[in-house]
Each structure stands twice: as C-alpha cells, then as structure tokens.
C-alpha cells in the first residue's frame, strides 16, 4: 500500500528558523523587502530539502529513506520539511517532476537543429551519457521513480504521465527532424520514441554496472543505426 500522507506529529510541526529581518514580519504593514526575504528564505529551504532528498532517495530508495534522514541531510528539522511539503511522498513526486523536466530540456538542447539524423542522434546520445557519468545517481533516481509508480497504484497515473512527457518530447524531436530533413518514417514517431527511451535506459544501466563494456560512443552509434532503419527519404509528391 502506498505511503499515506498523514499529518506530521505535533512535535514536528515547526517552521524554519526565522530568517534575517524576520522581526519586520511582526509589523502590521511589513515592507516589500521583508516579504521578499521570507520568500527567498523559503525557496532556499525548499531547494536544500530537494537536493538532500535527491541524494537520500538515490542511495536508500523511497522506502529506505526517512523524513528525519532527509531533513538532517539538509540541515533542518523535520518541521521544515513538513512546512514545505505534505510529506515524504509529496517531496518524492516534486523531485521527480523537477528531475525529469530539467534533464529533458538538456537533451532537447543537445539535439538542436543539427544538419543530419546521425548528428542529432549523436548529440542527444552524448548528452544523455554525459549526464549519467556526471551524475550516477540520476539513473538510480529515475529507476526509483519508475519502480514506485509500478508498486503504488494510487500514484501510478501521475508517474506514468511524467514519463509519458519524456516520450512526447522524443516524439516531437523525431517529428521535427523528419520534417526538417525531408524524411519519412517506417513506423509512427510515438513508437520510435518508446524504442529510443528504452534503448537509452538500457545502455545507461549497463554503463553504470560495467563501464568497460560500454564504449562512450556506443549509444550514439546504435541510435544512428536505429534511426537509419526507421527513416527513408520522403517521396516526391506527384
């Protein structure tokens, strides 16, 4: 059964430590600068909690992590966590959304408007493998997001929707490339996106477990072959 979002114990229901200038908050008409200070402090606290959660969830998994461990890693009490998130599951899902969005944008930027299918494939593949090598915990996080969505029926639609957005991005990149490079597809772009997504995950897992077995250029080469077989020059309209 999925973790229930129960209210935190009374002892944990505290807020972050007052930020500098917080005495202004007690005035009946606080200045705009004081309000901005509070907003910045809250944003900073939230960011530190997300960064701590990223590390803890990657190393311990969702079920192995605790709100106490995450809060301590961020340098806060559990009250700070509960004042920014509904609980561990909410923090986990917010982190999932941020990680998927951020890294999808990196991939899209790397593909860009390169002049050939092979170059676009190489650009996207190189960026994906660079991210995995730069942040080994990234793939662990993605696997944990996926596993949690499979196990927990109540959040499965939300997790599935976020991963579907990755495939939608791939579908758009494929469709743009086909149009711009005057090509046609041998199968629907949506199905090709599923295959590319699976290929990227599989090669990344192999790279993490046995780096010597996966040359740096392997992902790009295999992806280029896949795209070469899935595309053909567009037929001239009669």
- Got the DSSP string for 124-190? HHHHHHHHHHH-THHHHHHHHHHHHHHH-TTTHHHHHHHHHHHHHHHHHHHHHHHHHTTEEESS-HH
- Do 111 and 184 sit in the same domain of this protein? yes
* Inter-residue contact 91 to 74 (CB < 8 Å): no
The pLDDT of 205-224, averaged and rounded, is 92
Query: How many domains, in total, are found in the chain?
Result: 2
From CA 85, how far away is CA 83, in angstroms rounded? Answer: 6
pLDDT, tens digit (0-9, with 9 covering 90-100), for 19-44: 444 343 444 444 445 566 888 889 99
Q: pLDDT confidence of 122, banded at 50, 70, 90?
A: confident
Q: What is the dihedral of CA 180, 185, 191, 196, to 10 degrees?
A: -60
From CA 56, how far away is CA 72, in angstroms rounded? Answer: 11
With a pLDDT cut of 70, the percent of the chain lying above it is 84
- Do 50 and 106 sit in the same domain of this protein? no
- What is the residue range of 50's domain? 39-85
* Inter-residue contact 35 to 19 (CB < 8 Å): no
The pLDDT of 80-108, averaged and rounded, is 94
Task: Report the pLDDT value the prediction gives residue 147, as an integer from 0 to 100.
Answer: 94
- Do 78 and 188 sit in the same domain of this protein? no
CATH number, domain with residue 75: 1.10.10.60
Helices 88-111/156-180 angle, 10° precision: 10
- Do 113 and 202 sit in the same domain of this protein? yes
**What ranges in the chain are assigned the alpha helix state H?**
32-64, 67-74, 78-84, 88-111, 117-134, 137-151, 156-180, 189-209, 218-230
- Do 126 and 184 sit in the same domain of this protein? yes
pTM of the full structure: 0.76
- Do 100 and 135 sit in the same domain of this protein? yes
Task: Report the pLDDT value the prediction gives residue 23, as an integer from 0 to 100.
Answer: 42
pLDDT of 232 higher than 70 = yes
Of 175, 129, 167, 140, nearest in space to 65 by CA: 140
CATH number, domain with residue 175: 1.10.357.10
Q: Where a domain ends, among 24, 56, 85?
A: 85
What is the Cα Rg of the chain in Å?
22
- Do 69 and 186 sit in the same domain of this protein? no
Q: pLDDT confidence of 53, banded at 50, 70, 90?
A: very high
Contacts for 50 with CB less than 8 Å, ≥ 6 apart: 91, 94, 95, 98
The pLDDT of 178-188, averaged and rounded, is 93
pLDDT of 160 higher than 50 = yes
User: Could you tell me the end-to-end alpha-carbon distance of the chain, in angstroms, rounded to an integer?
Assistant: 59
- Do 78 and 155 sit in the same domain of this protein? no
Residue 33 resides in a domain: no
């Amino acid at each position: 059964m999925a973790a229930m979002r129960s209210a935190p114990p009374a002892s944990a229901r505290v807020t972050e430590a007052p930020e500098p200038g917080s005495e202004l908050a007690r005035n009946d008409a606080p200045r705009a600068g004081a309000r901005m200070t509070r907003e910045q402090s809250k944003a900073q606290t939230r960011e530190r909690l997300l960064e701590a959660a990223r590390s803890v969830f990657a190393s311990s998994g969702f079920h192995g992590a605790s709100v106490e461990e995450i809060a301590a890693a961020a340098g806060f009490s559990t009250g700070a966590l509960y004042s920014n998130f509904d609980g561990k599951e909410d923090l986990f899902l917010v982190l999932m959304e941020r990680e998927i969005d951020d890294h999808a944008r990196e991939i899209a930027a790397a593909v860009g408007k390169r002049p050939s299918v092979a170059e676009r494939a190489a650009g996207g593949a190189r960026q994906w493998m660079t991210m995995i090598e730069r942040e080994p915990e990234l793939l662990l996080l993605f696997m944990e997001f996926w596993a949690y969505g499979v196990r927990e029926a109540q959040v499965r639609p939300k997790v599935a929707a976020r991963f579907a957005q990755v495939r939608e991005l791939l579908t758009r990149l494929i469709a743009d490339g086909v149009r711009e490079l005057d090509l046609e597809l041998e199968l629907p772009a949506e199905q090709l996106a599923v295959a590319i997504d699976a290929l990227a995950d599989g090669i990344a897992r192999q790279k993490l477990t046995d780096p010597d077995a996966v040359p740096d250029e392997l992902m790009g080469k295999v992806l280029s072959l896949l795209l070469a077989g899935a595309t053909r020059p567009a037929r001239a309209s009669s």
